[in-house]
Amino acid sequence: MKGSAPDQRGENRPTEQPTVGSISALNDAFRRSFTGGRVVETPGVVALDVADRIALRLAVRVFNDFEAADDPHGEHDFGAFDLLGTRWFWKIDSHNRAMTGHSPDPADPAVTIRVLTIMRADEA
């Protein structure tokens, strides 16, 4: 059932779930550009030499191998791949603007901050 409820700005917004297509498009745009959110690299990434770190970031940006097991909701918020003889993960989390919890609407950039974490699989 559709309804509406005030959002963080006091405006009425539909209470139905955000569309997966909107979320995946926003996640893809952020991951491909590294703009519109925050990028976090774990110590295993930071320890790489410059050329390998650039190669890893590029691999995350061009990633397009989404499988149902890793992306069950179709939101394009997780990826796993091998590079440099190592298994790597990346993950996008959608937080509220205060960074104190989950976004109330991950399909709305006005209330969402995306955080992309890049890590070695053994750091997960």
pLDDT in tens, 69-114: 999 999 999 999 999 999 999 999 999 999 999 999 999 999 999 9
Range of weakest confidence among 1-15, 58-72, 75-89 = 1-15
Residue 18 DSSP label: P
User: Measured between alpha carbons, how far is 96 from 113 in angstroms, rounded to an integer?
Assistant: 6
Q: Where are the domains of the chain?
A: 18-64+74-123
> pTM for this structure?
0.84
Distances (CA, A) of 65 to 3, 5, 60: 36, 37, 11
